[in-house]
């Protein structure tokens, strides 16, 4: 522990962590829409891995090649120190970088709860973000043990980036994580895909660690061990990305649904009901303003994601986005778009027949916005608006899932 403490204090982990913290926090704060949803915030930080992991690998390789490796060469003869000591520089850089991510998540959590938002439900984000940082450090350790001098750091960064290039035909590499630039309400990470990603990057990291240990041991390097490590690194890099998955990176949540309010009720995942109250309040206000018109037909609305319409059970689809929450109300323009789509027309998914529906919505939405903002009366409904809404109501609705 004393040796690791020295690396924690004197290695490049501290400046690396400061850069990681500043970069990840800045990239998070320039995207303000997540501030009522911690899942969104944490997944957004995962996008930084594509640049953070090469940096962690380069920093580790620098410490190992310029500081640890010469010392090992001088003291290895007759040394009784356990081989794990060669991993201490990498573990120090990794520990500081992990701390940087944890601090960013803490800042995000404080901001979310300050805005009366909802907490974490996507727990996979933590191993999917931190394990690549660990494995990047192990790659840096391997490169630092194999290459001396100034080339170690850039080669380590290139090695990590190369994994992304190799996996690009299929998807994300081991040093990337699934991110999001929108709400995760109604979605969840499939356990199988998340577990495969975590295990894959861990195999890469452990393979690099064992290979570095083999380069450190006195005597001849065991070729079978090195080949085995190389195979493990290749498998961990390629298989999770190239596997023929039947599921997308996000699927419809299995969380139980609940509802808030009435006339109309608004339904969604129980963990998000707090966020749905402004939607229900604004829809209830709109129903009172539009009383006596055809726009108050649906008695309930239900959050729909990835075109999953089979569980609507008579409810109108709700395309919910917390970015439109305005205090205790929902954005009037978003409310108008919700009311203009009492069901999702199947024709919208067919290029030849989508235009009439979209044209009809273009007629209805501006009038609804004017009514909800008090700039136009709700009655009588203009003939052009009424006829356009009839086109929408008469379309064939989606009742199943879009495949």
- pLDDT tens-digit map of 238-274: 999 888 888 888 999 999 999 999 889 999 999 999 9
pLDDT in tens, 82-106: 567 788 888 999 999 999 999 999 9
Q: What's the pLDDT at 401?
A: 66
| Position with higher pLDDT, 77 vs 311 | 311
What is the rounded CA–CA span in Å between residue 401 and residue 68? 57
Percentage of the chain beyond pLDDT 90 is 61
Average pLDDT estimate for 268-297: 93
pLDDT in tens, 147-204: 887 899 999 999 999 998 888 888 888 999 999 988 999 999 999 999 999 999 999 9
Q: What's the pLDDT at 386?
A: 93
To 10 degrees, what angle do helices 223-242 and 191-216 make?
160
**What is the rounded (10 degree) CA torsion for 197, 232, 11, 59?**
-70
Q: What's the pLDDT at 133?
A: 97
Residue 77's pLDDT band, with cuts at 50, 70 and 90, is very low
Q: What's the pLDDT at 78?
A: 42
> ∠ at Cα 138 (146, 55), nearest 5°?
95
What is the rounded CA–CA span in Å between residue 64 and residue 55? 14
Q: What's the pLDDT at 53?
A: 96
* pTM score, whole prediction: 0.89
What is the rounded CA–CA span in Å between residue 82 and residue 2? 14
Q: What's the pLDDT at 73?
A: 45
Residue 75's pLDDT band, with cuts at 50, 70 and 90, is very low
Cis before 240? omega within 30? no
What is the rounded CA–CA span in Å between residue 334 and residue 367? 13
Count of other CB atoms within 10 angstroms of residue 309: 18
Q: What is the mean pLDDT of the chain?
A: 88
Residue 363's pLDDT band, with cuts at 50, 70 and 90, is very high
Average pLDDT estimate for 350-356: 83
Which region among 120-124, 129-133, 212-216, 398-402 has the lowest average model confidence (pLDDT)?
A: 398-402
pLDDT surpassing 50 at residue 399: yes
Which region among 49-58, 59-68, 360-369 has the lowest average model confidence (pLDDT)?
A: 59-68
Which region among 8-22, 183-197, 277-291, 307-321 has the lowest average model confidence (pLDDT)?
A: 307-321
What is the rounded CA–CA span in Å between residue 209 and residue 203? 10
Residue 96 CA from chain centroid, whole number: 22
pLDDT surpassing 50 at residue 209: yes
pLDDT in tens, 212-234: 888 776 556 677 888 898 999 99
Q: Alpha carbon of 146 to those of 66, 98, 157, 376, 380: distances in Å? A: 12, 25, 14, 74, 79
Average pLDDT estimate for 13-21: 95
pLDDT surpassing 50 at residue 66: yes
User: Torsions phi, psi of 160, nearest 5?
Assistant: -70, -45
Q: What's the pLDDT at 221?
A: 64
């Amino acid at each position: 522990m004393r040796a690791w403490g020295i690396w924690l204090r004197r290695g490049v982990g501290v400046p690396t962590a400061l850069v990681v913290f500043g970069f990840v926090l800045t990239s998070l704060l320039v995207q303000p829409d997540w501030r009522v949803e911690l899942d969104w915030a944490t997944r957004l930080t995962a996008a930084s891995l594509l640049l953070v992991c090469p940096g962690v690998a380069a920093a580790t390789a620098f410490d190992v090649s310029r500081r640890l490796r010469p010392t090992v060469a001088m003291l290895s003869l007759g040394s009784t120190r356990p081989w794990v000591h060669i991993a201490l520089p990498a573990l120090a850089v990794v520990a500081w970088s992990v701390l940087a991510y944890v601090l960013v998540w803490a800042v995000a959590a404080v901001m979310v709860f300050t805005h009366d938002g909802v907490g974490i439900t996507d727990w996979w984000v933590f191993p999917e973000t931190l394990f690549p940082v660990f494995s990047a450090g192990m790659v840096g350790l391997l490169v630092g043990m194999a290459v001396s001098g100034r080339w170690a750091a850039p080669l380590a960064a290139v090695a990590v980036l190369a994994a992304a290039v190799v996996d690009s035909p299929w998807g994300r590499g081991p040093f990337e994580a699934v991110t999001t630039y929108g709400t995760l309400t109604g979605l969840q990470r499939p356990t199988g895909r998340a577990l495969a990603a975590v295990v894959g990057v861990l195999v890469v990291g452990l393979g690099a660690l064992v290979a570095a240990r083999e380069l450190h041991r006195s005597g001849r390097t065991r070729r079978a061990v090195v080949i085995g490590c190389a195979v493990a690194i290749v498998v961990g890099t390629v298989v999770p990305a190239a596997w023929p998955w039947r599921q997308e990176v996000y699927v419809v949540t299995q969380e139980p649904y609940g509802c808030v309010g009435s006339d109309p009720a608004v339904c969604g995942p129980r963990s998000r009901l707090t966020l749905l109250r402004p939607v229900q309040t604004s829809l209830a206000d709109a129903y009172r303003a539009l009383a006596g018109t055809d726009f108050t037909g649906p008695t309930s609305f239900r959050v729909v994601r990835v075109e999953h319409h089979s569980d609507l059970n008579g409810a109108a689809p709700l395309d919910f986005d917390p970015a439109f929450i305005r205090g205790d109300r929902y954005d009037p323009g978003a409310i108008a778009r919700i009311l203009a789509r009492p069901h999702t027309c199947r024709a919208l998914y067919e290029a030849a027949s989508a235009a009439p529906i979209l044209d009809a919505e273009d007629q209805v939405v501006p009038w609804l916005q004017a009514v909800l903002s008090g700039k136009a009366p709700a009655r009588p409904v203009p003939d052009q608006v009424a006829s356009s809404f009839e086109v929408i109501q008469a379309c064939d609705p989606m009742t199943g899932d879009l495949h």
